[in-house]
Amino acid sequence: MRCIPKRVLFAALLPLWLGGCMSGGLLGTVGPDYTPEAPPVAGRWHAATPAAAADQPVLPHQGDAADLRRWWDRFDDPVLARLLDAAQKESASVSDARARIEQSRSDLVGAGVASFPDLTLNISSACAGMSFGCPAQYRKRQLVSVQSNWELDLFGGHARQREATQAQFDSHMAAWHDARVAVAVEVANAYLGYRYCRIQLKLAGADVESLANSARLADIAGRAGLQSPAEVALTRASAAEGANTLSKRAADCDRTVKGLVALTGLDEAALRQELDADPARAARLPSPPAFRLDALPATVVQQRPDVNAAERDVAQANAQIGVNEAERYPKLSISGSLTANPIVFGGARGAAASHWAIGPSLSVPLVDGGRRIADVEAAKAQYAAAVVRYHATVRTAVKEVEEALVRLASADEQLPRAKDALQAYRTSFDAANTRHQAGLGSRLDAESARRALLSAEASLAELEQERVGAWIALYRAAGGSWPEPAGTPDAAALRTRGPTVAAAPSRISNSEASHD
């Protein structure tokens, strides 16, 4: 049988190769095609949504790190901004997520070139000597060979693998975004807790001072016979309980600082100095920038990176069915080699031996005991589980948004009444203090009114802290509010685009990862 000329064979197979690389299988693509489904959510929010300025909308999440920082920057709190930057650099979860992206990027490159021929160059050199009672004869052998193997994608197994690895890469990217938002929210809540603790500590100190004054006055009144021993003892007990509350507040503040140190990796002494450098800022809670949430639930949950990651996991599981299904079908490979083998005897070059070979090979699975069918069924089960996880993630997302909305609405409803109560207690204290200074009222009554005022201030601070925490929770639940950078495809395009092997995704630089 006469061999086919190499040029003729190459020209005949080139269209097949290009067709297999650019689309699905040459003879069709096995496995189900993936169609993203709409999130299974209600058509409206059940909780009341907040109103905000028209220039502060919640925009779709696409992972723009600069826009992630914009929301935090609008707090106008440089200490918070520094803590967020430090935590992003030191977070183990962010670092692990970034490493998973790089690993999936490597897998994506491998899947992208699976339909291309591989080419291997081997070069070797050896020197040997022979002697039979006479001067030794030396032989030098050099071997240069080029080998190639190319598996044609007959039934789309490689195309499905590209789909699976692309979906995995997208899922890891979304998980990285989710890790960055989660770390930012954790740091913001810890910083909010510290600021609130400092306010409570100040109020507790004033309360202890008032209780000590009352205990001293009650003791004087008791010795004069103006108060019973039981009333004097009760006043002393209240002063002791107030001192214990003050100590507890101080310990809570210390624990919060140590939590911030663990999150950010900053030096504790320097962090304490930075936290208390501005007394005016330390005396008030951070003010969160409001934003609108007028989009439908389906739109909002699709902004969340964890929902995007779960949806991409479904796409990966769907593509894996096709990968396993393709293993049940024949495989066609074309192998080739070219070898040059010059030999030198005793310094004189001999004849150079060379040969080449090229030809196809067909592998057809016949009997495997049902292993390949079992792999397909297992892939289908993994797909069904991924769908369930996706639905559960969507439900959790809706629940978190609804809960944050309820928290925010409750705080907004209670705050006006708390402010009215504070104003009334302040008026009462002013009146009691004026009567005492005029000699018309007792100091004990004035101290009692003062403690009532301090209690009202503490209640108002608690509500304000709850409101800020609710805004942070809503920011987290709405997906991080990361607008789409100009000139890039939107989320729907990213989910529905076909897999590509032309270029690998770009690496994530440390500078980009740290500016979240």
CATH code, domain carrying 138: 2.20.200
227 & 256 share domain = yes
Q: How confident is the model at residue 430 (pLDDT cuts 50, 70, 90)?
A: confident
Does the pLDDT of residue 240 top 70, yes or no?
yes
Q: Taking 50 as the threshold, does the pLDDT of residue 209 lie above it?
A: yes
Judgement on whether residues 259 and 311 belong to the same structural domain of the protein: yes
Q: Per-residue b/e over 78-109, b at no fewer than 16 CB within 10 Å?
A: ebbeebbbbbbbbbeebbebbebbeebbebbe
Question: Is residue 299 domain-shared with residue 257, that is, in the same domain?
Answer: yes
Is the residue at 21 inside a domain?
A: no
Say if residues 302 and 491 touch (Cβ distance below 8 Å): yes
389 with 294, same domain: the answer is yes
505 and 358 housed in the same domain: no
Name the more confident of 498 and 422: 422
- Flag whether 497 is in a domain: yes
Last residue of a domain, one of 339, 364, 389: 364
Domain of residue 141: give its range. 117-152+331-364
Least confident of 47-61, 218-232, 405-419, 452-466: 47-61
Q: b/e for 318-332, b at 16 or more Cβ within 10 A?
A: bbbbbbbbbbbbebb
pLDDT for res 444:
76
Check residue 352 and give its pLDDT: 60
**In the chain, pLDDT over 70 holds for what percent of residues?**
79
How much is the average pLDDT of 138-156? 79
**Any domain includes 303:** yes
Of the residues 314, 347, 364, the one at which a domain ends:
364
% of the chain at pLDDT higher than 90: 21
Give pLDDT, residue 513.
35
Q: Is 153 exposed, middle or buried (0-12, 13-18, 19+ CB in 10 A)?
A: buried
Same domain (yes/no): 101, 131: no
CA atoms within 13 A on the CB side of 471: 23
pLDDT value, residue 485: 33
Predicted pLDDT at 340:
76
**350 and 394 share a domain?**
no
CA–CA distance, 248 with 205 (Å, rounded to integer): 11
Per the domain annotation, does 17 fall within a domain?
Answer: no
Instruction: Report pLDDT digits (tens) over 275-332.
Output: 988 888 877 888 888 777 766 777 778 888 889 899 999 999 999 999 999 888 888 8
Q: Are residues 344 and 468 in the same domain?
A: no
CATH of the domain at 166: 1.20.1600.10
Lowest mean pLDDT among 103-117, 259-273, 375-389: 103-117
3-state secondary structure of 370: coil
Q: Dihedral through CA 452, CA 457, CA 462, CA 466, nearest 10?
A: 140
- Is 323 among the domain residues? yes
**Number of separate domains in the chain:** 2
Range of 12-26, 406-420, 441-455 with top mean pLDDT: 406-420
Say how many C-beta atoms besides its own lie within 10 A of residue 148's C-beta. 14
Residues 209, 128 within the same domain: no
Tell me: pLDDT of 181 over 80. Answer: yes
**pLDDT above 80 (res 425):** yes
Residues 469 and 349 placed together within one structural domain of the fold: no
Do 278 and 261 share a structural domain? yes
Residue 507 lies in a domain: yes
Domain boundary (312, 347, 364) is at 364
44/127 same-domain check: no
**What pLDDT does 63 receive?**
39
User: What pLDDT, on a 0 to 100 scale, did the predictor assign at position 347?
Assistant: 53
Task: Let me know if residue 201 belongs to a domain.
Answer: yes
Arithmetic mean of pLDDT, 196-221: 84
Q: What is the mean pLDDT of residues 191-201?
A: 92
Between residues 114 and 192, which one has the greater pLDDT?
A: 192
Residue 90 pLDDT more than 90?
no
- Residue 168 forms part of a structural domain: yes
